[in-house]
Structure 1
Amino acid sequence: MATEQQHDAPAADAANAADLSPVGAARRRFTRAGVAASGVLLTLHSQPGMAVEVCTTPSGSLSGGLQSFRGPPPTCAGRSPGYWKNHSWPRGCNKNEPFTRIFSCNSLNAKTYGTTSQSAILDPKQWDKNGIGRHLMACYLNVQAGLSTFQTTAMLQRIWLEYQAKGYYAPTAGVKWDGGKIVDYLQGTMY
């Protein structure tokens, strides 16, 4: 019976194709070829787990990275907090200066982020919910090292200030990122 169904399927497709215009038939062939090829493409470019590389600004990431750039393509080679904890820092960056030298803190964060050095913030902290401080610091170092040319210090500071003030960051009107989503974006700019 399964064999009969297999033989009937091509006949049914041929009958349906006869009802289609030449353009419709061509689209159907293209779609089938695309489905077959997509498995190959997904196999060739699969990333571990849920890792996603984001080489664009926060608002640009919402458009699926379809943002166009003028001039040379952006550099997207950011490093993680763990990398910066164990490697040399870019020229002009001082591990011993406070986190607040780059990312100012409100009174609620003065006794945590405000008393922590730039190097120490790279270690996970119980009070650094979602690791926002450590990921912002790593992104800042990536910008300073030229490893992330689509981000700026001002952009990272804006994310931090808005998150501190409101408990979320709005990359575009009507969209609110909580701490977890902010960190997801920041991690996506690193490999």
Structure 2
Amino acid sequence: MKNTQHDKPQLDGLSDVSPAQEEEDRIRAAARRRLIKGAAVTPVLMSLASRPVMGAARQCSASGFMSGNVSLQPGVSPSCGGLSPGYWKNHTTWPTPYTPTTQFHSVFSSKAKYNYGTKSMQTVLNDNPGSFAFHAIACLLNGMSGFADYSLKAADVIKIWNDISTVGYYLTSTGQKMYEADAKKFFENTYH
């Protein structure tokens, strides 16, 4: 007769496995079951808590924004620390060298679609709410203000504007094309 648990022969109906060995086998089997259950659950739990390696609390760069990775960390504002176009529209103290009377075209190059003639930046803010230019002006001023959290520089804003207005898109550092709608949304994402 065979012992089905250990596949060892029995002598006179008695098992040749000691009670201590049986207890050790039982503990090992329980540990294996826990390990298998844990291995099955771990990928699910990790996927719930994982954050992309390149993800950040904020998407303050054009390439980061265009990556489509806009997962936010709980409790962290998505803003990049800038001020809105409405703020700049209602305040006359602007960072040097700009003033509300600075002509838009003296800063940003323009094709027909984006031509604001001799309008001042203040006039563009007042007359074109929600436009690409409206948001570009705010980002330009934010970039010149030296806000600690604001990583977009004025030169970046001008480059994005000029590329979109002349060739139709801005090429990010990762090689993605950012079109006007993308740039406008990106600019909006950089302030509160």
> Is this a same-fold pair by TM over 0.5?
yes
- Does 1:101 pair with 2:106? yes
Counterpart position of 1:113: 116
- Does 1:178 pair with 2:182? no
Q: Is the 8 A contact 2:116 2:124 kept in 1?
A: yes
Q: Is the 8 A contact 1:135 1:183 kept in 2?
A: yes
Q: Is the 8 A contact 1:162 1:169 kept in 2?
A: yes
Counterpart position of 2:38: 26
Letter in 1 for 2:145: A
**Residues 145 and 55 from structure 1, CA distance in 2 versus in 1: closer, same or farther, beyond 3 angstroms?**
farther
**Residues 123 and 105 from structure 1, CA distance in 2 versus in 1: closer, same or farther, beyond 3 angstroms?**
same
**Residues 124 and 19 from structure 1, CA distance in 2 versus in 1: closer, same or farther, beyond 3 angstroms?**
farther
Counterpart position of 1:131: 131
Counting matched residue pairs gives 146
- Does 1:58 pair with 2:100? no
Cα deviations across residues 86-130 of structure 1 (Å, max 9, x unaligned)? 124334221011012221334x268x32321011111353xx9x6
SS of residue in 1 equivalent to 2:172: strand
Counterpart position of 1:159: 160
Instruction: Mark the runs of 5 or more structure 1 residues left unpaired by the alignment.
Output: 1-17, 39-52, 67-74
The runs of at least 4 aligned residues of structure 1 exceeding 4 Å deviation read 18-21, 30-38
Tell me: higher relative CO, structure 1 or 2? Use CA pairs within 8 A at least 6 residues apart. Answer: 1
Percent identity, aligned pairs only, is 27
**Residues 116 and 20 from structure 1, CA distance in 2 versus in 1: closer, same or farther, beyond 3 angstroms?**
farther
Q: Which has more helix, going by share of residues?
A: 1
SS of residue in 1 equivalent to 2:94: coil
**Residues 173 and 32 from structure 1, CA distance in 2 versus in 1: closer, same or farther, beyond 3 angstroms?**
closer
Q: Computing the radius of gyration over CA atoms, which structure comes out larger, 1 or 2?
A: 2
Instruction: Mark the runs of 5 or more structure 2 residues left unpaired by the alignment.
Output: 1-30, 51-56, 72-78
- Does 1:86 pair with 2:72? no
Q: Is the 8 A contact 1:78 1:190 kept in 2?
A: yes
Paired with 1:55 and 1:188, the residues of 2 have a C-alpha distance of: 8
Q: Is the 8 A contact 1:124 1:131 kept in 2?
A: no
Paired with 1:186 and 1:83, the residues of 2 have a C-alpha distance of: 15
Q: Is the 8 A contact 1:85 1:122 kept in 2?
A: yes
